[in-house]
Amino acid sequence: MRPVFNSAQARRADEIMQVEYGYLGILLMETAGRRAAQLIRKFYPDYNRFVVVAGGGSNGGDGLVIARYLRRYGKELFILLTKPPEKLTALSRIQYDILTRFGLTCHLLSPDSLRRLQAFCDQEPRPILIDALVGVGLQQGLREPIVSLVEFLRSLNLKVVGIDLPSGLSADTGALFTPPLQCEHTIAFQTAKICHLVTPAALYCGQLHVVDIGMYPEVIERIGSRCFWVREKSVARFFPRRPAEAHKGTFGHALLVGGSKGKGGAIALATIAALRAGAGLATALIPGTVAPSFQRKALSGMSLPYGDEHVHYLNEVAALWALPFLKGKTAIGIGPGMGNSPETVNFLREFLPRLQVPCILDADALNILSQHEALWEKVPPNSIITPHPAEAARLLGISTEQVQARRLESALRLAQKRRVYVLLKGANPILATPQGESYLFQLMEPALATAGTGDVLTGLITGLLAQEVAPRQAALLAISIQGKAARIALRRNHTASLTAALLLGHIGAAMKEIQESPS
């Protein structure tokens, strides 16, 4: 997993390289600009016209290096500076001086230069815009005249490449300071920043590319980031071993708890997913009314139906009745289709304190917890919860909009407040740990925005926990499997057509591709 930095960590890494190792900042800037220019040339091999908009700080200096290399590649350029040369930072001024010695002209921001830029952009073929206005140091919204400049650039309707990050974003959060330009590509230097991977900011970054600018690995390690970018190849090692002499008992026994009248599909999906994740056995604890539909859907799963067809919800008596059956279970997933009723509240009150194996809570179990504060005391330590944004909002007592505006902060706050692992679902899921670590995914897949996919995820995590995979690794591996399964399904299906049942059919292929991914 790759570390993800905030702005202070990025500055500290620069400082260590320059002060303690004597590595000149101008060399870091030169490497950053050169490698970014090489990537841009690769992105757009058939484009010969480029606009470079450079601010007065280090990000602008990177942009000037990019402009110099693009000219060396024979590209036609329009370079716009937001500050006069005497107001550039020291390193950027050096790059400006080098640039002018190459005979390149930089236009200073003014109404006349914007008219010239408009004329340049109106010519065919249309140019590519390189956004090197503001980098990781931004700590508040953009100000004039930069706000107006960004709006002008937006009106040009060009393809945009962001340098380190789209101008207007803070490196420290997924929130928006000022809506930036929509980038096709963002080229980050040395490490990804939080805004690249946390929505809504990440929605503006396009494809993310992280380039090595020469910082020593020991410097990156010394920073000690507690935020990480989860890559497919980094979770492959979390798969449990499958020894040749194994039998079904070797791989654990998952217990899935849920179901209610009219909601038998959810618990069936979770049970099948637990088996697809590799659990040797999976049993569903369900109310009697669900039993007929469950057995039709989950042929490989066993069931513990409480009561007859007139029992619509699990209740306090069901919790006591089920206690002997907890023996031999190695992980428990609670919530899919369970319903939020007085009966299920009493069930959880009686059932949760009895659990002594890894546990995941989802769906209606989370809704009940949000309404009954005292139940949190009964949740086993180091459990996993998997809320979607609305569920997280209810658990935190804030609005869904507040959660979505500050997804990382919300997940970390909930994890540390309740001492649980929090897998916040949605575009670019986030896993936050009770220890304050966070794990970020690049997974924006609207096909997963359909009923039942959360139940599949619950089953996957439970199935992995049942095989004695640790909670953190189980959550990371499960979300990776689900995302990969969705992408495999979409190779032959339309985004709108994906269902949870269809997703289940691709779990095995997803696990195989992840495990075989190159290291």
Q: What is the pLDDT of residue 123?
A: 94
User: In this structure, what DSSP letter does residue 380 have?
Assistant: P
Q: What kind of fold does domain 2-228 have according to CATH?
A: Rossmann fold (3.40.50)
> Whole-angstrom distance between the N-terminal and C-terminal Cα of the chain?
11
Specify the pLDDT at position 519: 61
Domain spans in the chain, listed from the N-terminal domain onward: 2-228, 248-381+441-515
Tens place of pLDDT per residue across the chain (519 aa): 899 999 999 999 999 999 999 999 999 999 999 999 999 999 999 999 999 999 999 999 999 999 999 999 999 999 999 999 999 999 999 999 999 998 899 999 999 999 999 999 999 999 999 999 998 877 777 889 999 999 999 999 999 999 999 998 999 999 888 889 999 999 999 999 999 999 999 999 999 999 999 999 999 999 999 999 999 889 999 999 998 888 888 999 999 999 999 999 999 999 999 999 999 999 999 999 999 988 888 878 899 999 999 999 999 999 999 999 999 999 999 999 999 999 999 999 999 999 999 999 999 999 999 999 999 999 998 999 999 999 999 999 999 999 999 999 999 999 999 999 999 999 999 999 999 999 999 999 999 999 999 999 999 999 999 999 999 999 999 999 999 999 999 999 999 999 999 999 999 999 999 999 876
Tell which residue, 267, 261, 292, has the closest CA to residue 282: 267
Q: How many CB atoms lie within 10 A of CB 26?
A: 16
- Which tokens is 413 given? 């706050």
b/e per residue 496-505 (b: at least 16 CB within 10 A)? eebbbebbbe
- Quick one: CA dihedral 129, 134, 139, 145, positive or negative? negative
Task: Confirm whether 2-228 and 248-381+441-515 share one CATH topology.
Answer: no
Superfamily name with CATH number, domain 248-381+441-515: Ribokinase (3.40.1190.20)
Distance, in Å, from the CA atom of 111 to the CA atom of 279, rounded to the nearest integer, reads 67
What pLDDT score does 301 carry? 83
The CA angle 434-439-442, to the nearest 5 degrees, is 150
The answer to whether the CB of 384 falls within 8 A of the CB of 461 is yes
Contact (CB, 8 A) for 160 and 131: yes
**Is-contact 203 175, C-beta < 8 A?**
no
Measured over the CA atoms of residue 441, residue 447, residue 450 and residue 455, the dihedral's sign is negative
Rg (CA), the chain: 27
Q: Count of CB atoms within 10 A of residue 469's CB?
A: 24
Identify the pLDDT of residue 175.
Answer: 87
With vertex at residue 157, the alpha carbon angle to CA 151 and CA 159, rounded to the nearest 5 degrees, is 110
User: For the purposes of burial, counting CB atoms within 10 Å of the CB of 137, is it exposed (0-12), middle (13-18) or buried (19 or more)?
Assistant: middle
CA dist., res. 392 & res. 425, Å (int): 9
Kind and range of the H or E run holding 198: none
SS3 sequence of 386-418:
CCCHHHHHHHHCCCHHHHHHCHHHHHHHHHHHH
- Write b or e for each residue in 57-86: b if 16 or more Cβ atoms lie within 10 A of its Cβ, otherwise e: bbbbbbbbbbbbbbbeeebebbbbbbbeee
DSSP string, 127-152: PEEEEES--TT--S---TTHHHHHHH
Q: What is the pTM of this model?
A: 0.94
> Quick one: which of 457, 455, 460, 414 has its CA closest to 438?
414
Provide the pLDDT for residue 141: 79
Residue pair 243/467 in contact (Cβ under 8 Å)? The answer is no
